[in-house]
Amino acid sequence: MKQVTIAICNYNYERYLAAAIDSALAQDYPATTVMVVDDGSTDGSRAIIGSYGDRVLSLCKKNGGQVSAYNHAIASLTTEYVIFLDSDDVLYPSAVTEVMRFFDSGEWAKVQFRLDVMDNQGALTGAYVPNSEPPHDCGRLLRRGWLYPSPPASGNAYRVSALKQIFPVPEEGVNRYGADFYAIYGVALAGRIATVSKSLGGYRVHNAGSETVSFANSEQLTKAPRAFNMRWAILRNIAKVRLDIELPATFLDFSHEKATFCSSVYRATLFTRWHWMLRNSRGYLHTIIANPFWSLKKKLGTLALSSLCLVPYSPLSDFAVRYIANPLARRRVAGR
């Protein structure tokens, strides 16, 4: 039986850490090892990790950021496959079994799966991510600059040999976070991607109710575009030096453009909304119209919703922006 590691990278998440570890230990795939990398926590995390004894492999290090924790974990792996589980997320008991069925069926670099969205208390919201599936050969589109639809970090299982073609990643300065960016997109340059079309875990979203455009946990809406541009530049250099692959200077991604769109028009004046749509929306509209992962129906629906930001009635405009940006807002409408 092929060996799999569930690697949990933790920093000061004692409130959620035990649930993550318990879900990893509860896997019904016997050849599963649980590794916890603690990145210099100052809360009670290390006591929680210690309470599991030899049921988990504990790697404690000085604080260096998420990229440093990934680098350390990948360098320590001895198994052929790994799932990186965020310490505030959980896996369902059959997660490893399900992804290994795919790995056994072909030479996949990564198997990704949906995650059910949980609120801060762990209650399911009825939403899930992602809402689109990429083709198996999404590396071909990535070479043209298109970032493919992927779940957050916890929804990805990797072939370790593919990850080691990308990692270690530079961890100095501002590049402390966003390790999952390099793992998710980097491995698509090393092999094919498979998708499990059902949820195998839970993704916890903090402070992101249906009345806000914020959804991702890692970064503020206004900072995300700048961070993605920096990471793309680093990934381009890694691809060129290690894989002899030349990526384009800029990338194409609806989620990235959506962050710019939302920060520009949400709760803005009518003049500001019209000005942005007329003068600055080219990239946003292009990632809708030319999106290779979306159906025509989804493209037309997103364009129609986006046009509502131009109406004089600001509550309707703001609702449309929330609906585009935040899956929780969509579930609220569906549940009415």
**Mean pLDDT split into 10-residue runs, the chain, 336 residues:** 97 98 98 98 98 98 96 97 98 98 96 95 92 91 96 97 97 85 97 96 82 60 72 96 97 92 94 97 98 96 96 95 86 51
The helix (run of H) or strand (run of E) holding residue 268 is none
The pLDDT, as a whole number, for residue 336 is 46
Q: Residues for the chain: how many in total?
A: 336
C-alpha to C-alpha distance for 74 and 81, rounded to whole angstroms: 10
- Single-letter residue type at 47: A
Q: Which of 279, 244, 265, 275 is nearest to 308 (CA)?
A: 265
> What confidence score (pLDDT) does residue 248 get?
98
Contact 158, 81 (CB under 8 A): yes
Q: Would you call 172 helix, strand, or coil by DSSP?
A: coil
Q: Which phi and psi (to 5°) does residue 57 adopt?
A: -90, 115
What span, in angstroms and rounded, lies between the C-alpha atoms of 182 and 156? 12
Contact between 49 and 38 under an 8 Å Cβ cutoff? The reply is yes
pTM listed for this prediction: 0.92
Separation of alpha carbons 88 and 205, rounded Å: 9
Q: Which two tokens stand for residue 180?
A: 């999952």
From 3.30.43.10, 1.20.20.10, 3.90.550.10, 3.40.50.10490, which CATH number describes the 4-210 domain?
Answer: 3.90.550.10
Q: Which residues pair with 60 in a beta bridge?
A: 38
Report the b/e string of 21-53 with b at 16+ CB within 10 A.
bebbeebebeebbbbbbbbbbeeebbebbeebe
- Let me know if 165 is exposed, middle or buried by CB neighbors in 10 A (0-12, 13-18, 19+): middle
Residue 329, pLDDT score = 80
Cβ-Cβ contacts under 8 Å for 66 (sequence gap 6 or more)? 9, 11, 39, 176, 177, 178, 179, 180
**Sequence spans of domains, the chain:** 4-210, 254-334
- The pLDDT value given to residue 334: 47
Instruction: Kindly state the DSSP code that residue 79 receives in the 8-state scheme.
Output: S
Which residue from 189, 266, 174 is spatially nearest to 226, judged by alpha carbons? 174
